[in-house]
Structure 1
Amino acid sequence: MDKPKVVLGVSGGIAAYKACELLRRLTESGHEVRVVPTDSALHFVGAATWSALSGNPVTTEVWDSVHEVPHVRIGQSADLVVVAPATADLLAKAAHGLADDLLTNTLLTARCPVVFAPAMHTEMWEHPATQENVATLRRRGAVVIEPAVGRLTGVDTGKGRLPEPGEIFEVCRRVLARGIEERRIDLAGRHVVVSAGGTREPLDPVRFLGNRSTGKQGYALARAAVARGARVTLVSANSELPDPAGADVVRVGTAVQLREAVVKAAADADAVVMAAAVADFRPATYAEGKIKKRDGHEPDPIVLVRNPDVLAEISADRARPGQVIVGFAAETDDVLANGRAKLARKGCDLLVVNEVGEHKTFGSEANEAVVLAADGTETPVPYGPKEALADTVWDLVAGRLA
């Protein structure tokens, strides 16, 4: 089989050095990569580096090798174009169709999926001109990854940092993994909220009631949604996984904190997917000091109280018309029967039902489930990678949003 052809565009920002790691991941995973930098990018990483790492010639000009018509051929033959980092200047040129170098010409001729990974100072990212350009690119079907929050150049900190190369690679891989007919960016312009991980309910300063969820399924849902063009808010409960590129991550600990974050994020969301394992109960009292073991005495019983039912609440009181709500049901027995009862009780549109246990689902790279719908349809998802289940969920959500 021919290797998938990827064009890696690099524009002139300090984060250009991180694109070397992205290039390495792309080439080592079997992609044919052509690096197309801007003149400014070469101030940060030289052409020799890009050529050595990619194994292909590197130029910024449309006048080099004119007989090969590179300003047309590179974009025409690509399976994916990814620009990382994408500066404010590059985003502006792409949005307005300017073509004054090889990279911008390539963007105009590309008929494949295009991914932009912006990196710039917070003020530049938040400027109305940049936001308008980003909205234009997304409306045309490009995937524009939200920048990360963190240390920028100098002493500045804020939103505008290039996401980690490994996470940008995951977005690119997800975009390429979908078949030619499925590469539509069907969640473009949509805001989706995903909860992930497992809540922890503190007993005392050192102990808590928790569960085995690691957040892998929720993070797979977030990554898949980014690759399909959505703006993603990920409410993460006690997960140690790296932040998915392009997702705004809100970290929470308890069920009450998760409810607050989900309700706030859902206010303008088109869809909410509650993949987190939310504790049904919490201790009625919290011990300010560590609970001590006393010789000759049995421990006092732990009295539990109910936590808020977040899924039922957001299903009953939808923040906007047409909002799609998806729940997860982790069952240990009578899986489908319990799932159908829960779907009716919660009032959500879709319920992902799977069997869990000490060595099932939690912490695994794979999952098996049945997606139950309020209209009575059932969609089985065979055992396989969690990203496959994620795509099935978004297929069903996108159909309802459409």
Structure 2
Amino acid sequence: MTFKNILATSALALGMAGGAFAQDPTKVGFIYVGPIGDGGWTYEHEQARLAVEAEFGDAVETVYQESVPEGADAERAITQMALGGADLIFTTSFGYMDPTINVAAKFPDVKFEHATGYKQADNVGVYSARFYEGRAVQGTIAGHLTETNKIGYIGSFPIPEVIRGINAAYLHAKKVNPDVEFSVVWAYTWFDPAKEADAAQALIDQGADVILQHTDSTAPQAAAQKVNEAGEKTIYTFGQASDMSEYAPLPRVSSIIDNWAPYYIERTKAVMDGTWESDNTWDGIGAGMVGIGEITDAVPAEVKAEAEELIAKIGSGEYHPFTGPINKQDGTPWLGEGEVADDGTLAGMNFYVEGLTGDIPQ
């Protein structure tokens, strides 16, 4: 073989090798509303990001930005991620909806996925979990556990997702304990440990001995634990978005766990193989997107069995948490006997059910 032929053969081999490895990894970005160590909502999204890396290895590159405020800051962060070469961006809070839509219009070749919102575009899909299914389970347990008949609920923002949860928890607490009362405190934050702890303490001071939360930190758990350790009374809590099992068996007696990993893996694969399309996904217990954390031995065996039966019925589709008869707060009929709420009404829910007191902030 001549020297010229050797050079040609070598060049061909290098070209083939280069072609085999030339394809850049798919770049997947994540915008988080809280810190990855919040122990709740953002923590679970971060675990799902890590699952994407584990699934695809060197075929993907992931990036994230944590603690991004909703609004103009979010639009800037999403824009920078798109400019940085992201092929797919997950924006993981309700308040990122309009910023996501705005940025997507400027980057038609980038795919976007927005959590808990409802606005779509050709390159924007939306996804959420049916958290209200988990709230029904929590309400059932809470209604049995309360001795004061007062249950406290820490709300983040008065949006349909949160209102659905309050309604579902109340309806199922009321089913097992007709004397139960709910008090709702609005924290107007997703993640602020100091505010969340203050809200939990205020509810405890008002007589609540069960605290539910739709905020992201473990601060309410810690506040309840402090009261329990003082020996004055027993406070029960439930983990939000993540298991929060470090507070088990008391005060945390169970939890709602958001399992985003399968969805993130599926949607990343769709971008990689060119099959991604804008979609609207809303899954729950049955699909595994909503998990129920271990019900601890602090819950009586018969209550645990009742809760587990409810989980099974919701998961199989045998039972829907919003099944009539149910009236609205003002007493007007909403669902008749055996009637099930439609997804459109649930997605836009802006009313309390009958029995809840107080107004929903506007």
- Per the normalisation by structure 1, the TM-score is 0.24
More helix per residue: 2
- Per the normalisation by structure 2, the TM-score is 0.26
Determine which structure has greater relative contact order: mean sequence separation of CA pairs < 8 Å that are 6+ residues apart, divided by chain length.
2
